[in-house]
Every structure is written in structure tokens, then in C-alpha cells.
Amino acid sequence: MSWPARAPLPLAPPVRLLLPLLLLLLLLLPAQARAAPVSIAYFLQISEPTLALLPRLLRSVYHDDNLYVVHFDKKIPLWQRRHAETILFKGSPRYKHNVRLLPSEVVTYRGISMVLNLLSAMHLALDAHPDWTYFINLSGSDYPLVSVHNQMSLLASRDFSARNRSFFSFAEPDWWKDSKRFRYDRLYTDTSLSFNDSESAVVDSYSDQPISDVAAFTFAAAEAWMILHRDFASFVLGDSYARRMLLAFAYSLEPEEHFFATVAYNHPRFNTSNVSHSLRHVAWMHHGVHSGQHPYYIDQQEPDGKTWTFREEIENSACFFTRKVRVQDSGLLTYIDTHVNGISDNPNSITVNAYLAKVNKALDCVVDMPNGAYGGNCFGSEKPLKPSPSKPKSKNVKS
Ligand SMILES: *[C@@H]1O[C@H](CO)[C@@H](O)[C@H](O)[C@H]1NC(C)=O
Ligand SMILES: *[C@@H]1O[C@H](CO)[C@@H](O)[C@H](O)[C@H]1NC(C)=O
Ligand SMILES: *[C@@H]1O[C@H](CO)[C@@H](O)[C@H](O)[C@H]1NC(C)=O
Ligand SMILES: CC(=O)N[C@H]1CO[C@H](CO)[C@@H](O)[C@@H]1O
Ligand SMILES: CC(=O)N[C@H]1CO[C@H](CO)[C@@H](O)[C@@H]1O
């Protein structure tokens, strides 16, 4: 793979004369319009139910200047993974240039192997591409509400990349304690730590986590969706503080929601640079009813078979991505491409710009929020995230 250097273009004489004027104009523009777009490493973590959603997702977030790391869960049968790879690279010859496959690992839902898999992806991304600035973690059921080009510009705007800021959706503070009680006070083992590929479950030991009461760090409650600055990614992979914290979370439940946020919240190098929202729209509530353990599917339809239940909510979310998508190529995705992110061939520029204005307004709101603050209030429809009481598979229970 080669990353073409961008050679400065020679300037023609009339342009040279205009240059001071152009520079003056540039200085008069607001800072956010000026910064060069940053490049992004996207990680697409694919499980069996989301295999069919991958080709469209990759197409919709693809851009030559970015890096794409794709992972197929090892629990997906080998022939199916091979087939998915073949289909993927048939999508476009350009993919060869910047789409990388992460060798398959077993990923246990709600277990530490989700964190380990994300760390593997960050490692590959840091090795493969010299200059991405942000790392965005996606699953097959995410879908963009902002075009990639605009994502690259918006992450370069304000003080985000200038201050190496990472984005986390922290939960409301009164839930941090509950969350710790449900997920950290007992020891839970992700059986994929056995190195046995047929093992993938989180098992409750029903014994206390001895360090829970004495932990001198603050257990941070957040969502598993993040936008991480390269500086934070390098820190998480290479620093001994992060390594020790990883072990402190190895036998916990849902560590993917707490490990990264806890490192960022507690370490003095990052606790003054967080942004309190991960720019993801997740539908947890509908007509006052909590969805339970899993969020609602955003492509759910009303009984009339014509109305997309969450369409308006999506249009007010002001986020970069929505989830969870269940249906491949649904009319809702076509609608989003035309009216929201504008990546279709015939976008409606009025609604696309209106959505972008909402995103800018939300970013202006969240940019100065305090550390660990609940950023959801800046984002139209976002509803609070509650920790769910844990019910992992219980075997080998000792009483
Ligand atoms: C941002 O990260 C770079 C690379 O790790 C580092 O050299 C720089 O000092 C960091 N800047 C800030 C403001 O933390
Ligand atoms: C791996 O685990 C399975 C049960 O899930 C067991 O039958 C098998 O013997 C284990 N393999 C090894 C090498 O222990
Ligand atoms: C950041 O962390 C350090 C060390 O834990 C702590 O002393 C400091 O008060 C924290 N700063 C903020 C702004 O949270
Ligand atoms: C390890 C980890 O944090 N994975 C998350 C990456 O993002 C997807 C969806 O955006 C989540 O489902 C994963 O939990
Ligand atoms: C602007 C910023 O960095 N956000 C917050 C992150 O955390 C610190 C510590 O609480 C806050 O002071 C910042 O406002």
C-alpha cells in the first residue's frame, strides 16, 4: 500500500499576487471552517447476524483517505467468513488499498474479549496507517447519519483534534454506582480466555470482587461506542497504567462499556480532554418504555407498514451514527442517504443541510461540558442509559 505524498502545486503568477488577499480571507473565516479534515480509522466489528449488513455499511463510510479494519467473529463458520471476505472485496477494487482484515478472534458478548478485540483492531490500525487521527468503533448494525467527508471535517473542527480529545457517552452520574454494583462487585469470567475457540460465555462466579471496595479509581459508566483520538489509542495499547486497568476489568461484566471510559476519566493526561458524547444515536426508550437489555431496532415500522417508528427521532438525534439496523437495504436506509447524510446520488440538500446544522449545534453544546458530564442533553432525542441487572449464564456455581 502506498500513501501518495501531497506535493505542493506550483503557483501561477496571478495567483501569487492574490495570495495575501486569500490569506486574509482565510483568517476571517471561523476556525472550524479552516481546519484540514482529519483522517479516520473505522473498525467494523462483525458478528454473524450483521454479516449481510457489512457491504452497504462499508460503502457508506468509505473514503480513500481513511483506514478500515474489518473483523469477523471467529464464531462465524469459516466458509461463511471466507464468502463474506470475497463479497466484500468484490465491492470495489479500491478497497485493497485501505481495507484490512483483522484475523478472527472469539468475541464474547459482554465479556473482556470484546475489549481485547478492540485493542487488536487499534493495534492493527496504528501499524497500518501512519496518520489517522480518530478511531471509530462500529458494529455491522451501525449506520452513518453524517457523510464521512463531513465527519472528517467536523472532527477537525473546534478544539477536538487540536487538544487530542476523545468522545465518550458517559451515563448519568447517579447510575455510576448501580452500574458498578451490577457489573463490578462480583467476579465474572469470559470463558474465551481459555483459548478454546468453542468457549464463549460470561460465567458468574457468585463470589465478590475483592478489589471492588478498595478501588482507588472511579468506576466510570459509559456506552461501548466511542470515538478515540490516536493519542488515547496509543496510550491504551502501550502504557502500564492502561495495562493494569485492563487487568482490573478482566473479570467484570460489560467491560467494553467501562474500561476505556475509566482510563480516560481517571488518568490526568486525559481527564481534562474528554468530550461527553460519542455521537451515536441509540434508541433505548420509546413512548416511555425502556427497550431492556438491547436497544430498539431503528428500522422498526408501525403497524400501518408505512411509518418508520424512529425516523423523526433519528432526524433530531444530531449524531454521526444510528443503531441498531436489522434489515438489509431497507427503505429507511435509502431515506437516510437521501435526506440525512446526503450520500445518495440525488440528495435533498435542504434536509441534509438542516441535519448538519443540528449536528453543529449539538457539538457547540457538548464541546465545553465538564468531565464525565451527561452529554445526552445536547442531543435531541437521546435518552438516558440505565444499567441493566446482570443475568449471565451461570455454570460452575459454587455456593
Ligand atoms: C497530542 O498527541 C500527540 C501525539 O501523541 C502529542 O505529541 C501531543 O503532545 C498531544 N497534545 C496534547 C494537547 O495533548
Ligand atoms: C474445548 O471446549 C469444549 C467444550 O466447549 C470441549 O469439548 C473440548 O474438549 C475443549 N478442548 C480442549 C482442547 O480442551
Ligand atoms: C484528573 O486526575 C487527577 C489524578 O487522578 C486528579 O488529581 C485531577 O483532579 C483530575 N482532574 C479532573 C479535572 O478531573
Ligand atoms: C469492544 C467494544 O467497545 N466494542 C464496541 C464497538 O462498537 C460497537 C457498536 O458501535 C459495540 O457494539 C461494541 O460493543
Ligand atoms: C473541555 C473539556 O476538556 N471537557 C471537560 C473534561 O474534563 C475536565 C475535568 O472535569 C473538564 O474541566 C472539562 O471541561
Tell me the CATH architecture of domain 40-175+217-378. Alpha-Beta Complex (3.90)
Kindly state the helix (H) or strand (E) to which residue 72 belongs, with its residue range: strand 67-72
Kindly state the helix (H) or strand (E) to which residue 337 belongs, with its residue range: helix 331-339
Residue the block writes with cell 416511555: 288
Query: What separation in angstroms does the CA of 40 have from each of 25, 160, 164?
Result: 28, 13, 13
- What pLDDT, on a 0 to 100 scale, did the predictor assign at position 2? 40
CB-based burial, 99-111: b 16+ in 10 Å, e otherwise: bbebebbbbbbbb
CA neighbor of 147 nearest in space, from 326, 364, 347 = 347
pLDDT along the chain (399 residues), means of 10: 40 51 53 77 96 96 97 97 93 92 96 98 95 96 98 97 94 87 96 96 96 96 93 98 98 96 95 90 84 86 91 94 94 97 97 97 89 75 50 39
Cα(198) to ligand 4 centroid in Å equals 22
Strands (E), 125-234: 134-139, 143-144, 167-170, 186-190, 202-208, 222-229
Cα(266) to ligand 3 centroid in Å equals 7
Q: Which residues pair with 67 in a beta bridge?
A: 41
* 370 Cβ inside 6 Å of ligand 5: yes
Atom of ligand 4 nearest to the CA of 117: 1
Residue the block writes with cell 418508520: 308
Atom of ligand 2 nearest to the CA of 198: 5
- What pLDDT, on a 0 to 100 scale, did the predictor assign at position 34? 61
Instruction: Among the bound ligands, name the one nearest to the CA of residue 75.
Output: 2
- pTM flag (> 0.85): yes
Q: Where are the domains of the chain?
A: 40-175+217-378
Name the closest-CA residue to atom 14, ligand 4: 224
The C-alpha atoms of residue 389 and residue 254 are separated, in whole angstroms, by 11
- What pLDDT, on a 0 to 100 scale, did the predictor assign at position 395? 43
CA atoms within 13 A on the CB side of 264: 29
The C-alpha atoms of residue 62 and residue 56 are separated, in whole angstroms, by 10
